[in-house]
Amino acid sequence: MIGILTTLITVPLIGAIIVFLIGTKNKKLSRLLAQFITFAELSISWSLFAFYDRINKRLNIEDEFVRWIDSFSIHFSLSIDGISFVLVLLSTTIVFLVALQSTFVIEENEHLYYTLLLLFETGILGVFLASNLIIFYIFWELVLVPMFFLIGEWGGERKRYAAVKFFIFTHVGSLFMLLSFLYLFINMKTFSIIELSQKDIPEIVQTIAAIGIFLGVAVKLPAVPIHSWLPDAHVEAPSPVSVLLAGLLLKMAGYGFLKLGLNIVPEGIKVLRPVLITLGVVGAFYAAFAAIAQKDLKRVIAFTSINHMSFIMIAVAVATPLAIIGAVFQMISHGIIIGLMFFLSGIIQHHVGTREINLLGGIKKKPVLTGFLIVGSIAAFGAPPMSGFIAEMMIFFASIPVYPWVMTVAAFSIVITSVIYLWLLTRVLFTNKAEEVVFEDLVSHQNYLKYELSIVGLLFIPIFVLGFFPNLLVSIIEQAVNQLLKIIG
Amino acid sequence: MEAIIITVLLTVLVPLVGSLISPLLNKILKEKIHFYAIAIAVITAALGITSFSIGLRMEEIEPWTFNWIKDLLNPGEFIQGGIFLDKFSLLMLMLVSVIAMLIVIFSHDYMHGDDALPRYYFWILFFIGSMLGLIVSDNLIQLFIFWEGVGLASYGLIGFWNRENENVKSGTKAFLVTRAGDMGLLAAIILIYFNVGTLSFSEFTSDFGNILGESKLIVLVGVLILVGIAGKSAQFPLQFWLPEAMAGPSTVSALIHAATMVKAGIYLGGRFLPYFLTAAPLYAEQLEVLFLIIAAVGVFTAFLAASIGMAAREFKKILAFSTISQLGYMLLAIGVAGLLHNGEDALFASIFHMTSHMFFKALLFLGAGAILHSVTTTKDIFEMGGLRKYMPKTTLLFSAGALSLAGIPPFAGFFSKETIFSKIIEYIEETSSVWGWIFLSLAVIAAIMTLFYTMRMIGVVFFGESGEHVKEAEKHGHLHDPSWFMMGPLLVLAIGSTIWGFFGGLIEHWFYHGDQTYGEWIGHIFRNGWGWLILAIIVIVGGIPGYLIYFRKVNNTFFANSFLQKFLYNRWYWNSLMLTVFVDGTTKVGDLLQYPEKALDHGTNSLASGVLATANAFEVLDRKIVDGAVNKIAYGFQWMGMKLRRFETGFISQYLWIGAFGFVILLIGVTLAIIL
């Protein structure tokens, strides 16, 4: 049966083909079409709220299923729950804003860029919706391909290096994941995520599978020390693509931890707990300290991104409902906030011509941009009343009783994150320079700044709304989290 | 909803909403934004006074709560946000809103002509609103949010004049040091939640102390809260941010020192004290350890900062050290209260000193602001001098504040400081513990030093010969008493500093329904003559030398240029030590981490080149041996290659097509294989 979920995935796929074909004739039209398609996706995904059952707090959308290869139980099957729903909303929203923002950034081969962007959207939505391991894997890998080209073609100086590095790292990780899928299949005779989550999988099988899954997702998250692709990829990618990377691609890993790890092989994850908590805490501190020494604006943001995502590993290790809700909250909030920060760093680069922190300064002459940078930074280090504060609070409330000493120490990594951002602001905004930064539109020589800023400014809405009304998000995901952790009631 | 809840709610919301609107009004109001801010502040103060006067007549005020966040640990229940009022919080609410109003009125002339007024008033009103919200919060997370809001506002305001990089750095320093303290508070909140089971003050019962005592957590939780207090209220070892916090406008300093920010920590301590004391019957030992720590931190800070105050040269820095020192007294009073058997009543000493400090410290900072507004070229008191002749009214009002700070009768500081001494003596009488004597002697020495540096400050700034900077200011016609927008608040605060002490008895009576007469109250403070003795010691040892040296200009070679003077001027080297350890340390760690980063990159790259080398080796192998054999076939492929070469245009669209084509072929192949 094919329904709205399949539509959600196929619209950008078909759109990609059309955009590509039109683009060979008329590039501007293809761009507008692509933007329209991302908008359509946005509307479809938000209209899913129509299926939201307020009483049972779940989405009344049936699973969609097309038989494919019976003997290997590989079927095209999609399903949606609260967690995937909010991630789908995040994806369509971010992709839409990225498509708009790209107008001001991408000038060469626009039609190809948008084709790849739409392919990426298909891939990422597929990951969040798939309920068969092989389908999951196909979409998981599909995301890599457009991303590889997006970095490698439109990126900065070392774009080829970054693209290849990104591809190889994540691809090798995925290989382990695929192996553990096959291993699960050999033992349990099914690829269906739903069936697997209901079966009683022997602990040893769970452990081995969990290791493979862990390797696959930990690279994407990324966990220290297999993170070194991330700073390169984020820095070399054009700024809208950095937004995709940090805002969405990393969330695939978080989602993988929940949907594959805790859902299918909870016992295996339990065995891995010491690894997860160690990598989580070490990663939080490592990335925070490493960020301090960076000289490139984007690199700083990229490293704090690693710091934020480390908390998700900690939450997975704790694996109580509060921790998992906190993890999802962190994924959404981080996706928005770090997306915002990458947008802003992109704007700075496009108008000033450099992201070198020591060369910036004097940006405070642009009051709106300055305000955005300040509020965005405050949001990024998790101060109230923004969404990041709630997310971190949830994770700390969940984890301190379980790992009191470790997590009390880990709480201080938040102070380091605030150091990073405040020092960044001091240097970028408030440093006195002999020569003032020249602020102009280097890309188009037209004043696009206010349009760019008004697009980016939209992201502040969810940051504050979720900060003030966390229940909005919690009530959507609560049911799914309980289901994930197999808590009845 | 009760009337008092509505007024309190409005007291908090008016400045907060007013703050958020102020940037929008920029274009409409322009310079008139002063009056907008004054209007908001006056309304807030009126609401604060109204709340207080309603509360004055109420015996018990029901807390007001609402369902706030889902309690994820107890499904189906909510964490309650809300307002929790008692006499302490109502008194604070009123005083903070009134003093904040005076500071905002003062700003009208003080900030005249600044080009970033909307930002200034945005942060000022946000600051006030956050502090008021903190005061009435029922829930600890709610309190923590306002607590962080206060910190954010201080960041924005201390670094307000952001053209100077140093100012921004000072703001950053203030925010980061206090935020490090906040993490302690956060850990305490989480521990309380998981042991006591609730986050609301209104739901803490008499079990609070027993639960913590039973799990031996009293000391830990108490010390973690102390870390939070030490951050916000600038206590040792986190006191070193406050002196730099005077980088902002003087009005901001006044707000930070008198009404908001540093008072938040002490307030929190006072708020928690009664709940900790519920453990007294069963777990007295744990409590004793905790409160000895608190009192020791307090009295040491009071001593430390007072000693530094004697050597500081910058006008506002002297005041900043005096604040740290006075906050130390308040913390000491909390600690001593916890050690006394009637601790809840003894807390009054801390509350009383906090309230009188609000008056005289606001007065001192605004007075200093008025002076620095006139003498703009220097901040060093030794470069001023003789201002008495030019600003007589300011001199008079400022001196009232300064004498109150030094604890000279009849000013407010005298009464409140003597109350603290009386509580220490009470503690000595009760337990005859050696700690009591240590606390008392350190506190008295700190008071002696306070009087000494107060005399120094007044003598050097207002008396003696005018320095060059003063003469220059006179030439430009800057040098006169300020306008009434500035003078009015100073006058009100000076009156407050003078008479507030006499209200002490009334307030204590209102707090605890004591049945003592006013005379008895005074007698109680002086503890059978102890108070007079202490006063005499302070005046003789601190005041007379101060007068001789700085008014009579008696030559003093004992102190000048000694090692002690350097040691004090450099703030016991604590600031430098902290900067070295944390700032340089953090940067070092960050730099060091570049090595593993590079190593990782290097490893990856060499792995990749290894793979390439292997591939090359195979390629050579391939050419030498296999090629020969398949040369013929190769020719065939070469032909195909010629055909295919046209694809290699470096243009990814074609790669994509080929990729898609290959993918489809592969898919068909796999499907066929499986089906067959």
DSSP state at residue B617: H
pLDDT of A160 strictly over 80: yes
Which chain A residues are Cβ-neighbours of B179 within 8 angstroms? Answer: 414-415, 418
- What's the pLDDT tens digit per position in B272-327? 998 988 888 888 888 899 999 999 999 999 999 999 988 888 888 999 999 999 99
Answer yes or no: is B126 within a domain: no
Which chain A residues are Cβ-neighbours of B72 within 8 angstroms? Answer: 321-322, 325, 394, 474, 478
- What's the pLDDT tens digit per position in B554-567? 766 666 667 777 78
Domain boundary among B569, B596, B617: B569
Residue A465 is predicted with a pLDDT of: 93
Q: How far away is chain B from the Cα of A413, in angstroms, using its nearest Cα?
A: 10
Bridge partners, A296 (sequence order): A356
What six digits make up the tokens of A427? Answer: 């240097």
Answer yes or no: is B22 within a domain: no
Phi-psi region of B315 (alpha: psi -120 to 50; beta: other; left: phi over 0): alpha
Residues A428 and A360 sit within 8 Å (Cβ to Cβ): yes
Phi-psi region of B529 (alpha: psi -120 to 50; beta: other; left: phi over 0): left
Residues A255 and A321 sit within 8 Å (Cβ to Cβ): no
Which chain A residues are Cβ-neighbours of B152 within 8 angstroms? Answer: 378, 383
pLDDT of B648 strictly over 50: no
Is B482 in a helix, a strand, or coil? coil
φ, ψ (nearest 5 deg) of residue A152: -70, -25
Specify whether B431 is located in the same domain as B380.
yes
Cα A156 to Cα A49: distance, rounded to the nearest angstrom: 40
Specify whether B561 is located in the same domain as B598.
no
Residue A304 is predicted with a pLDDT of: 92
Specify whether B517 is located in the same domain as B536.
yes
Neighbours of B29 (CB within 10 A): 17
pLDDT of B645 strictly over 80: no
Specify whether B549 is located in the same domain as B618.
no
Cα B121 to Cα B117: distance, rounded to the nearest angstrom: 6
Specify whether B367 is located in the same domain as B412.
yes
Specify whether B551 is located in the same domain as B624.
no
Considering only residues B633 and B437, tell me which one the structure prediction assigns the higher pLDDT.
B437
Which chain A residues are Cβ-neighbours of B659 within 8 angstroms? Answer: 145
What six digits make up the tokens of A82? Answer: 């609260």
Is B137 in a helix, a strand, or coil? strand
Answer yes or no: is B67 within a domain: no
Residue B265 is predicted with a pLDDT of: 93
Answer yes or no: is B178 within a domain: no
Residue B362, amino acid: A
Answer yes or no: is B86 within a domain: no
Q: Which of A422, A425, A471 has the most B C-beta neighbours within 10 Å, making it the best mutation to test the interface with B?
A: A422
B625: number of CA atoms within 13 Å, CB side? 6
Domain boundary among B527, B543, B569: B569
φ, ψ (nearest 5 deg) of residue B137: -60, 135
> Mean pLDDT, chain B, as a whole number?
84
Q: Which of A139, A329, A415, A421 has the most B C-beta neighbours within 10 Å, making it the best mutation to test the interface with B?
A: A415
Q: Is the dihedral of CA B200, B201, B207, B212 positive or negative?
A: positive
Cα B243 to Cα B240: distance, rounded to the nearest angstrom: 7
**A485 CB within 8 Å of a chain B CB:** no
Cα B10 to Cα B89: distance, rounded to the nearest angstrom: 15
Asked if the Cβ–Cβ distance from B674 to A72 is below 8 Å, we say yes
- What does R_g of chain B's alpha carbons equal in angstroms? 33
**A429 CB within 8 Å of a chain B CB:** yes
pLDDT of A385 strictly over 50: yes
B141, B183, B594 ranked by CB distance to A293: nearest:
B594
Comparing alpha-carbon positions, the chain B residue that sits nearest to A288 is B590
Binding-face residues of A in 405-424 toward B, CB within 8 A? 408, 411-412, 414-416, 418-419, 422-423
Specify whether B488 is located in the same domain as B593.
no
- What's the pLDDT tens digit per position in B349-398? 899 999 999 999 999 999 999 888 888 778 888 888 788 888 888 899 99
φ, ψ (nearest 5 deg) of residue A186: -60, -40
A470: number of CA atoms within 13 Å, CB side? 28
pLDDT of B667 strictly over 80: no
Q: How far away is chain B from the Cα of A116, in angstroms, using its nearest Cα?
A: 10
Cα B65 to Cα A292: distance, rounded to the nearest angstrom: 42
Residue B651 is predicted with a pLDDT of: 52
Count of domains in chain B? 2
Specify whether B543 is located in the same domain as B442.
yes
Phi-psi region of B113 (alpha: psi -120 to 50; beta: other; left: phi over 0): left
Is B497 in a helix, a strand, or coil? helix
Cα B432 to Cα B440: distance, rounded to the nearest angstrom: 12
- What's the pLDDT tens digit per position in B136-151? 999 998 999 999 999 9
Answer yes or no: is B79 within a domain: no
Query: What was the ipTM of the complex prediction?
Result: 0.82
Give alpha helix (H) positions in B513-626. Answer: 518-526, 530-537, 544-550, 563-569, 574-578, 585-592, 594-621
Range of the domain at B605: 578-650
For Cα atoms B425, B431, B437, give the angle at the middle one, nearest 5 degrees: 45
Specify whether B562 is located in the same domain as B634.
no
Residues B324 and B405 sit within 8 Å (Cβ to Cβ): no
In percent, how much of chain B has pLDDT > 70?
91
Cα A152 to Cα A149: distance, rounded to the nearest angstrom: 5
Bridge partners, B57 (sequence order): none
What six digits make up the tokens of B458? Answer: 């007044």
For A242, A280, A285, A335, B652, the CA distances from A292, given in Å and listed in that order, are 20, 19, 11, 21, 38
3-state secondary structure chain A: CCCHHHHHHHHHHHHHHHHHHHHCCCHHHHHHHHHHHHHHHHHHHHHHHHHEECCCCEECCCCEEEEEEHHHCEEEEECCCHHHHHHHHHHHHHHHHHHHHHCCCCCCCHHHHHHHHHHHHHHHHHHHHECEHHHHHHHHHHHHHHHHHHHHHHCCCCHHHHHHHHHHHHHHHHHHHHHHHHHHHHHHCCCEHHHHHHCCCCHHHHHHHHHHHHHHHHHHCCCCCCCCHHHHHHHHCCHHHHHHHHHHHHHHHHHHHHHHHHHHCHHHHHHHHHHHHHHHHHHHHHHHHHHHCCCEHHHHHHHHHHHHHHHHHHHHHHCCHHHHHHHHHHHHHHHHHHHHHHHHHHHHHHHHCCCEHHHCCCHHHCHHHHHHHHHHHHHHCCCCCCHHHHHHHHHHHHHCCCCHHHHHHHHHHHHHHHHHHHHHHHHHHCCCCCCCCCCCCCCCCCCCHHHHHHHHHCCHHHHHHHHHCCHHHHHHHHHHHHHHCCCCC
Comparing alpha-carbon positions, the chain B residue that sits nearest to A418 is B176
Specify whether B466 is located in the same domain as B415.
yes
Output the DSSP codes for B66-130: EEEEE-TTSTT-EEEEEE---HHHHHHHHHHHHHHHHHHHHHHHHTTT-TTHHHHHHHHHHHHHH
Specify whether B313 is located in the same domain as B350.
yes
Specify whether B563 is located in the same domain as B587.
no
Asked if the Cβ–Cβ distance from B72 to A415 is below 8 Å, we say no
Confidence of residue B655 (pLDDT cuts 50, 70, 90): low
Q: Residue B259's closest CA among B405, B115, B418, B134? A: B134
- What's the pLDDT tens digit per position in A108-121? 888 899 999 999 99
What pTM does this model have?
0.86
Cα B84 to Cα B136: distance, rounded to the nearest angstrom: 6
Cα A354 to Cα A359: distance, rounded to the nearest angstrom: 7
